[in-house]
Amino acid sequence: MANDEVGQDGGAAPRAIVRAKARPSIVWLIPLIAALVGLYLAYWAWSEQGPQITIVFESAEGIVAGQTKLKYKEVDVGVVETVELNEDLSRVKVTASMAKELSGFLTEKTRFWVVRAEVSAAEISGVDTLLSGAYLAVDPSSEGERARVFEGLEKVPVVRSDKPGTLFHLRAQELGSVDVGSPVYYRWLNVGQIAGYELDEAGESVNVQVFVEAPHDDRVRSTTRFWNASGLDAVVTAEGVQVDTPSLMSMLVGGIAFETPATVTVAQDVPENMVFELYPNKQATRRPRYSRKTRYMLFFEDSVSGLVHGSPVEFRGIKLGEVLDVDIELDLDTNEFRIPVVIEIEPERLGLAGRDIKVNQASVLKSMVARGFRAQLATNNIITGQKAVAFDFIEGAKPAEIQFGRGYPVLPTVSGGLDAITERVTGIVDRIDKLPIESIGENLDRVFASLAETLVSVEALTASANTDLLPTMTASLEKLESTLASADALIAPDSAMAQELETLVVDLAGAAESLRLLAERLEEYPEELLRGKAE
């Protein structure tokens, strides 16, 4: 063949055949597009998926995996995926998937709780869960650090981020018949709830937190008074029995009311961390109370009959506090009995307040004691014999100081009652004994003798005046009367002298007029003084 090439060995070389390659079939595009769509859907699902969190509860009552929803403002924001016990079987771990929108609101301050149907004396809540089942409520918060593990609440919180208002702190001697969720009243309108309560560290009072909803929280001022509004508040007055209670419901479930009365202190905004006093009833709010209390000890040697727990402690009639305990002890050094009395006062009543209350109070009290500030027993009620501890500045009191080292600072005391009267009477008698009575008597005798001589002289002078002076004075008065009569006759309007004086006055007036005319003529023609008046 002419087109065949000759190889190296002299034979014909093979000939390459070029053929066109077939195109891929369009059928392969379908699975490729399906794979791309699947990848996109998987990425979209992954990007839209919210975070997964763990919530720990005491019990899983009403929580079902795959069914129980998480809601915020009645909107589904998640779903429970698993429910299981923890390692020691003491608690329940609930794993839930959250919506992507809540990613930035899952912080250490975010709270979760189970909403179920509950019936109490205060209210009936969660009725809709009877049909739809329980759900987990969410109270999101953007404050704090991000978190994925949370401690679930066993009770519905009173303070929530979607409910504006202010939390106030109260302190009470006893809790009374109030509980978490009990209403808070202003003018008997329900404006809030009790958020919680707990004993203080010393166990001597109860700290109560109340939540007042906006805008009513602006009505709470620095002088606002809170009181326990549970039950009946009855007062007997001259007009009869007055009963004050908000409603029958408050008698059953309890409640707290507040108002801002007119006081000497000007109402201001509530300072930060201020603690209000919770009064047992409305009548007690009319008695001023202060947040700070300080305890002291007193020692008396007199009889304290009538002094009991609750007896008043006063300063010049103003109540400072009350007696907490009265006891008796033997002083081993002197083998004498003395009576320790523990009192609790409110130092703010004496103006003992400031930034550093303890230092200020100690320094001021030390100065007051140095000036005679003492405690003594006083009879508060003559009929019942009830006594009180009365403080005052005692003039001439023996020097004393505040003693430390026992459980409470010890303030100095002085004797009171009959002993004080006896001491005063004894002092008066001593002063009378020291008076120089004999010398004073001799001086009085001399004074009386001199006074008698003076009276004799005065009597003699009076007799001489009656004999010699009176006739002379009578004659002088007659002459004066005659002289006045003559003068009256001379100046009478129809007398000759009066007429002559009138004529003289008229002539003087004419002369003065002539002189005036002459002066005017000479002023106009002064040359006439030399040449005379022209014809």
In this structure, the strands spanning 124-125 and 118-119 are antiparallel
Q: Same structural domain for residues 394 and 344?
A: yes
In a domain, 8, yes or no: no
Contacts 24+ apart (CB under 8 A), 58-66: 58/91, 58/92, 58/152, 58/154, 59/92, 60/92, 60/94, 61/114, 61/116, 61/134, 62/114, 62/116, 62/129, 62/133, 62/134, 63/92, 63/94, 63/114, 63/134, 63/136, 64/133
- 464 forms beta bridges with none
Q: Does one domain contain both 332 and 256?
A: no
Could you check whether the bond before residue 215 is cis, i.e. omega within 30 degrees of 0?
Answer: yes
Asked if residue 410 and residue 330 are part of one domain, the reply reads yes
Q: Give the residue from 309, 327, 295, 299 showing the smallest Cα distance to 388.
A: 309
Are 300 and 409 part of one and the same domain?
Answer: yes
274 with 347, same domain: the answer is no
Contact present, 290 and 346 (Cβ < 8 Å): yes
Q: Are residues 178 and 279 in the same domain?
A: yes
Separation of alpha carbons 26 and 220, rounded Å = 79
Please report the pLDDT score of residue 383 as a whole number.
76
pLDDT along the chain (535 residues), means of 10: 52 65 66 79 68 91 90 90 90 91 88 80 61 86 89 85 88 84 88 89 87 92 88 55 58 80 76 87 73 83 84 86 88 82 82 54 83 86 81 86 82 71 64 73 78 79 70 74 72 70 78 79 71 60
Same structural domain for residues 195 and 282? yes
Question: In Å, how far are 514, 516, 517 from 529, measured between CA atoms?
Answer: 17, 16, 15
Is 357 among the domain residues? Answer: yes
Flag whether 430 is in a domain. no
Alpha-carbon torsion angle 143, 144, 148, 153, nearest 10? -70
Q: Is residue 236 a part of any domain in this protein?
A: yes
Of 388, 418, 448, the one marking the end of a domain is 418
Quick one: 249 and 135 in the same domain?
Answer: no
* Domain contains 18: no
Instruction: Please report whether residue 97 resides in a domain.
Output: yes
**pLDDT at position 404, please?**
82
DSSP letter assigned to residue 299: E
CB 32 within 8 A of CB 52: no
- Tally of domains in the chain: 4
Co-location of 125 and 82 in the same domain: yes
* Whether residue 322 sits in one domain with residue 263: no
Domain final position from 263, 286, 309? 286
Q: Is residue 186 part of a domain?
A: yes
d(CA 443, CA 453): 16
DSSP 362-395: HHHHHHHHHTTEEEEEEES-TTT--EEEEEEE-T
b/e for 224-243, b at 16 or more Cβ within 10 A? Answer: bbbbbbbeebeeeeeeeeee
Give domain status of residue 408, yes or no.
yes
Within this chain, do residues 134 and 215 fall inside the same structural domain, yes or no? no
179 and 147 part of one domain: no
- Give residue 110's domain range: 49-151
The structure tokens listed for 451 are 């006074």
Q: How far apart are CA 92 and CA 62, in angstroms?
A: 12
Residues β-bridged to residue 70: 78, 136
Domain end (from 126, 151, 176): 151
